[in-house]
Amino acid sequence: MLATQSETQFLDEQDAGWKAFVRRLKWFDWLYAALLVVGMVYTFMSLDQHRDVFDTAILLGMTPVFIVTGWWWKPFRLLFIGVVVLALLATQFYAGDLSRANTQFFLKFMLASQSAIGWMSALFFMATASYWLGLLARSEFAAKVGTSLTWAAVVMGVTGMLVRWHESYLIAPDYGHIPVSNLYEVFVLFCIITALLYLYYEGRYATRAMGAFVLVVISAAVGFLLWYALAREASDIQPLIPALQSYWMKIHVPANFIGYGAFSVAAMVSVAWLLADRGILASRLPALEVLDDVMYRAIAIGFAFFTLATILGALWAAEAWGTYWQWDPKETWALIVWLNYAAWLHMRLTKGLRGAMLAWWATIGLVVVTFAFLGVNMFLSGLHSYGSL
Amino acid sequence: MSDSSSDTLRAEAVSPRQRNFANQLFELVSSMRFAISLLTLLAVASIVGTVLKQNEPYNNYLNQFGPFWFPLFESLGLYAVYNAVWFLVILAFLVLSTSLCIARQTPHMLKEMRSWREHAQEVSLRQFAHHAEIAGDVGEQAQGAASHYLARQGFRVRTVVRDDGTLIVARAGRFNRLGYFLAHIAIVLICLGGLLDGNLPLKLQMWLGNKQILQGVAMMGDVPASARLGDGNFSFRGNLFVPEGKSQSAAVLNVRDGILIQELPFSLSLKKFTIDHYTTGAPKRFASEVVVTDRKTGEQVERTIEVNKPFTFNGITIYQASFEDGGSQLQLHLKALKQGVLSQAFQAEVGVNQSIGTGDSARTLEVTGFRPINVENMAVRDDSQATSLAMSVNKHLGSAVSKPGDKDLHDVGPSFSYKLRDAAGQAREYNTFMRPVQQDGRWWMISGMRNSPQEEFRFLRMPLDDEGKLDTFLSLHAAIQNPALTKAIANRFAQTALQQQGSNASVRPKLVETAERTLTLFQVDGLKSVADFIETQVPAPQREAAAGVFLKVLYGCVWEAWQMQREADHLPAQDLDEARAMFVRAVLAASSDTLHYGAPYFLQLSGYNEVKASVFQVTRSPGQPVVYLGSALLVAGILCMLYIRERRLYLWRAVNAHSWLIAMSANRRSLDVGLEFAKHQQALTHTLSRSGAAPGQ
């Protein structure tokens, strides 16, 4: 079978129980954990005055989540440390004064949120080109460059989002909010999450060939983002309207975008599957079983998070709009997306369906997802109007 | 949703059953095909509901679809798809189908969870997709080592010594099966909870309790008992409109094209409604300070209800839904724009109609709204500046804060909106600002008008004089529009023109006549009639010059009218400087625009006493905890199904065999089953042969 070194190793890690997992941790894992705990304690102390029960719960809850994620997916540790360092640097450069974004060199050309997101955009385009070069010219080096560029793009994207968060508080304390409140911000989030999910599968399956496909959908999102920022001036930080002032937003929106991101990865991998199945690029792409497996895993994780996100949305709606479900177009389309992937999983898991049919279905699923994500905002009216175009 | 898993061992033949009709029906309704068909139907119906705006006033649909399609769509329930009987029937069938599916699958699932399959036969093991012969020792030690290895890999292990050989059975992930049960029971719970909170209880009550919906507006006291629902109603959702200082104890339920009244077990009084704004003018906080009084016990609770911060009182949850004007008192000043209208001051109230004016200018005033704050972007965009790509990019570097010059947000003060309905029933809408607004270096009073809600507002700008008053404009406007003064103004205009130019006095009558005719023309339809005249009477090449002459005459007349008034008021004469010339031009333009304002008077807001009203949503949702429980089970179920992999591994050594048979099955066919099998095969070969004896014994 396809038992490469890393895959066997992965199974070792997964099967042998958590004790063995902890035994295998290296010194850097423990250093990483220690840094996070110190950071948490420091934040805990310095926010003592302003912290409410949700902040405390998030702080206490997310620290172990980030630690375990880093232990389990090693590159995450460096990413985490990297963006924290960059974001802290940016806050130091700002020193509480927003106007420094135009005068301080590093802020203006790199770390201020719009500059960082600009870098993210450029890096994603370059990564796409590198992956395609790697795929078409069978150049391992170009593909490796693609991977590095994608990582760099993610670092800049996350930094941009964190700095944007900081900037919102610098405008005025009552402006401050997590940047997941409008279409511009969630598009950046979508690019980051899709790239991270892809990078995870790239490492796990030890193949870079899928990057060329997944990065296409990210580039499309970046293209939209640039148009939205340049033509529609959508990038300004806006204060939160009362309906959005809720803790639920902070978990509902990211959970949703893990879902959307994963479905997008699945759709692009299924495009690769369909091409390879017809002999196009087949020799350059991983085996069909591998593509099929990635497709399944992406949809599975996407489905789990999408379910969670929809439920969180319902909990929030119950608090904000007085009912957990009222057939708002966005809600209804979320249900349609959910039903679509529920049916996909049923066909695969209980009917054992495989092959072109599932790949086509996953590809078309992206159209449904895109409509739920964008189309509803463009063509239908409803309560989710803050995402409007 | 029958779970026909790909597990090979489950290939045990199903005993032939008596397949009578009931059985077949049971099979059909509990089948996955049936459930998927229902879900597809549900999805399509839902899409219809998102494309067609739901629960709009019925008139909108009538306008949209016309008299033929409107009743047809109505009978299909398309205006409230999610409350339509057929939609609820689909949901009910889905609940039934899923329940039957659970009933059918659960015994089998429980058996599978418990079963070790200790009687597995070699023949069937050899049919597994993953099986192999491996060399290794027999005996306690080897078996112990293998069991230990498997246990460490997360399996639960049992060794069975049978007459025909030794079987080590290892199994892991049995909770995967539980996932199926959890996820499907969750769907049933969510649907049931949803049905409890939806429109079904109301439908039943209307049917059983013979309730009639009410059409048209009625006073609360006039509502008949047939349109009232008692406060014991276990599931409802309604709206509560409460002005500041008032209290309310019944909610309004919108049903189809009418309403029902829902009695509440409490009364809610609104002490104060507050809106906070950000500096951009965007709303920051909506908060209602309320006192809720239990009608039986008299218990009182004071609370602040905000968006995202509802308040639950005795099982009924109260939400901040929206706000409206609760009947603000406005002091208005009627200022004549036409001859014969008397200026006067009077009081008006938002939401209350009254008659104003007399004769031709009689109208019904319907004050529809009042806004104390209007934040407008007053920035002037400099389009002449060339915008290159580089500049555009530079603009987007740095922080995500709008750059200076982009926006200039100002509160331009209160405004009120009203309709003026004439005797024929025709109404025009107006929106008038209380305070003057600065534009083009001058202060103006601004009022918007439109003939129908589909139009954009067109704005009338009236210039203020040096004292910041409208009076100069109004009196000049009255003078130039007054035919009785036309002659005097024309005479004075001719006199001034002759003095300035020193021309021959013989042209005087001609000048007077020109001025008089121009003014009379202007009085018909303002600058438009002047333009029309030029269009029809002047040859094309001379039109521009003619227009210049007409304007000059009109400006001159306005100026003379101004000077005449000043003389009458014993004020000193003025020199015509640039500022005054601008004022004259503004007066002429505004005077012309009043002729298209559609009202014989302008209503100036001079004072107000704002009364706000808060709109609450009140609900009793008995299904909510059921839905939440279902949601929790759904997440747990999905995680179990997708992330717990059920695997069984068998090590079989027949009595006389020379090697072990290793076989592995999983209830899902996936890439990692093969990988895992290869790994265990390798490891077990190693483990089993480590205990000393030569392989193959």
Mutate: best of B37, B40, B50, B634, partner A, most A CBs <10 A: B50
In this predicted model, which residue has the larger pLDDT, B186 or B5? B186
Identify which of B6, B282, B397 has the shortest CB distance to residue A115: B397
| Percent of chain B scoring above 90 in pLDDT | 41
In this structure, of B157-166, B283-292, B403-412, the range with the lowest mean pLDDT score is B403-412
- Tell me the pLDDT tens digit for each residue of A14-42: 455 777 788 889 999 999 999 999 999 99
Q: Which two tokens stand for residue B326?
A: 């609760």
Q: Which residues of A touch B400 (CB under 8 A)?
A: 112-114, 164, 167, 235-237
In this structure, of B12-21, B141-150, B410-419, the range with the lowest mean pLDDT score is B12-21
Closest residue in B to A101 (Cα–Cα): B398
Mutate: best of A225, A241, A312, A380, partner B, most B CBs <10 A: A241
pLDDT band, residue A382 (cuts 50/70/90): low
Q: Which two tokens stand for residue B695?
A: 């392989």
Domain formed by B124-173+647-689, architecture: 2-Layer Sandwich (3.30)
Strand pairing class (B156-162; B130-134): unpaired
Residues 6+ apart with CB under 8 A from B324: B241, B612, B613, B615
Q: Is B676 within 8 Å of chain A by CB?
A: yes
What pLDDT was estimated at residue A315? Answer: 94
For B184-217, letters b (16+ CB in 10 Å) and e give: bbbbbbbbbbbbbbbbbbbeebbeeeebeebeee
Identify which of B307, B400, B635 has the shortest CB distance to residue A235: B400
CA trace torsion A71, A73, A74, A75 (10° rounding): -140
CA angle B384, B390, B392 (to 5 degrees): 60
Is the separation of the CB atoms in B377 and A93 below 8 Å? no
Are the Cβ atoms of B638 and A115 closer than 8 angstroms? no
Give yes or no for residue B218 having a pLDDT over 80: no
E strand segments, B278-362: 283-294, 300-306, 311-313, 316-325, 329-336, 344-349, 353-356
Identify which of A20, A239, A296 has the shortest CB distance to residue B670: A296
Mean pLDDT, to the nearest integer, of A132-161?
97
Q: Which residue's structure tokens are 């995967």?
A: B176
Give yes or no for residue B42 having a pLDDT over 70: yes
Give yes or no for residue B678 having a pLDDT over 60: yes
Average pLDDT, chain A: 90
Are the Cβ atoms of A17 and B4 closer than 8 angstroms? no
Q: Which two tokens stand for residue A72?
A: 């389990």
Distances (CA, A) of B527 to A269, A324, B434, B518, B531: 68, 58, 27, 10, 6
- DSSP conformational letter for B309: B
Q: Locate the domains of chain B by residue range.
A: 17-110, 124-173+647-689, 200-234+236-326+613-620, 476-601
What pLDDT was estimated at residue B137? Answer: 83
The residue among B457, B438, B464, B447 whose CA lies nearest residue B380 is B438
d(CA B480, CA B465): 17
At residue B135, the 3 state secondary structure works out as coil
What pLDDT was estimated at residue B258? Answer: 83
What pLDDT was estimated at residue B586? Answer: 93
Are the Cβ atoms of B671 and A289 closer than 8 angstroms? yes
Mean pLDDT, to the nearest integer, of A181-187?
92
Q: In terms of C-beta distances under 8 Å and separation of at least 24 residues, what long-range contacts does B307-315 make, across chains too?
A: B307/A242, B307/A243, B307/A245, B307/A320, B308/A242, B308/A243, B308/A245, B308/A246, B308/A319, B308/A320, B309/A319, B310/A319, B310/A322, B313/B266, B314/B265, B314/B266, B315/B620
Q: Which residues of B touch A241 (CB under 8 A)?
A: 282-283
Q: What is the pTM of this model?
A: 0.83
Residues 6+ apart with CB under 8 A from A67: A32, A33, A36, A37
pLDDT band, residue B357 (cuts 50/70/90): confident
Q: Is B322 within 8 Å of chain A by CB?
A: no
In this structure, of A166-180, B191-205, B379-393, the range with the lowest mean pLDDT score is B379-393
Is the separation of the CB atoms in B637 and B184 below 8 Å? yes
Closest residue in A to B287 (Cα–Cα): A242
d(CA A240, CA A179): 10
Give yes or no for residue A272 having a pLDDT over 50: yes
Nearest CA to CA, how far is B631 from chain A (Å)? Answer: 7
Distances (CA, A) of A93 to A85, A100, A113, A167: 12, 8, 13, 12
Are the Cβ atoms of A311 and B635 closer than 8 angstroms? yes
Nearest CA to CA, how far is A303 from chain B (Å)? Answer: 9
Give yes or no for residue A1 having a pLDDT over 50: no
Average pLDDT, chain B: 86
Nearest CA to CA, how far is B638 from chain A (Å)? Answer: 7
Between residues 229 and 268 of chain B, which touch chain A (CB distance below 8 Å)? 237
Is the separation of the CB atoms in B261 and B615 below 8 Å? no
Are the Cβ atoms of B642 and A303 closer than 8 angstroms? yes
Mutate: best of B51, B401, B649, B680, partner A, most A CBs <10 A: B401
Are the Cβ atoms of B396 and A303 closer than 8 angstroms? no
Identify which of A304, A320, A376 has the shortest CB distance to residue B638: A304
Mutate: best of B399, B676, B684, partner A, most A CBs <10 A: B399
The reply to whether ipTM tops 0.85 is: yes
Q: Which residues of A touch B3 (CB under 8 A)?
A: 350
What pLDDT was estimated at residue A11? Answer: 41
What pLDDT was estimated at residue B380? Answer: 52
Give yes or no for residue B17 having a pLDDT over 80: no
Nearest CA to CA, how far is A270 from chain B (Å)? Answer: 16
List residues bridging with B371 in a β-sheet: B415
Give yes or no for residue A118 having a pLDDT over 90: yes
CA angle A201, A202, A208 (to 5 degrees): 145
Q: Is B118 within 8 Å of chain A by CB?
A: no
d(CA B528, CA B104): 82
Q: Which residues of B touch A109 (CB under 8 A)?
A: 397
Q: Which residue's structure tokens are 């199904």?
A: B641
Sign of the dihedral through C-alpha B382, B384, B389, B390 = negative
Give yes or no for residue B106 having a pLDDT over 60: yes
d(CA B32, CA A349): 13
Is the separation of the CB atoms in A123 and A151 below 8 Å? no
Is the separation of the CB atoms in A201 and A215 below 8 Å? no
d(CA B211, CA B204): 10
pLDDT band, residue B4 (cuts 50/70/90): very low
DSSP A264-327: HHHHHHHHHHHHHHTTSSTTTSPPHHHHHHHHHHHHHHHHHHHHHHHHHHHHHHHHHTSSS---
- Tell me the pLDDT tens digit for each residue of B623-672: 999 999 999 999 999 999 999 989 999 999 998 888 999 999 998 778 88
Residues 6+ apart with CB under 8 A from A227: none
Q: Which residues of A touch B152 (CB under 8 A)?
A: 16-17, 20
What pLDDT was estimated at residue B341? Answer: 85
- Tell me the pLDDT tens digit for each residue of B561-606: 999 999 999 988 888 888 899 999 999 999 999 988 989 999 999 9
Give yes or no for residue A162 having a pLDDT over 60: yes
Are the Cβ atoms of B671 and A343 closer than 8 angstroms? no
- DSSP conformational letter for B684: H
Are the Cβ atoms of A11 and B679 closer than 8 angstroms? yes
Are the Cβ atoms of B672 and A293 closer than 8 angstroms? yes
Q: Which residues of B touch A323 (CB under 8 A)?
A: 197, 237, 619, 621
d(CA B434, CA B446): 8
Are the Cβ atoms of A380 and B49 closer than 8 angstroms? no
d(CA A331, CA A225): 24
d(CA A343, CA B365): 59
Closest residue in A to B404 (Cα–Cα): A99
Is the separation of the CB atoms in A285 and A276 below 8 Å? yes
Q: Which residues of B touch A104 (CB under 8 A)?
A: none
In this structure, of A275-289, A361-375, B103-117, B259-273, the range with the lowest mean pLDDT score is B103-117
- Tell me the pLDDT tens digit for each residue of B381-411: 444 444 455 666 666 777 777 655 556 677 8
pLDDT band, residue B379 (cuts 50/70/90): low
Nearest CA to CA, how far is A143 from chain B (Å)? Answer: 25
Residues 6+ apart with CB under 8 A from B245: B269, B270, B271, B611
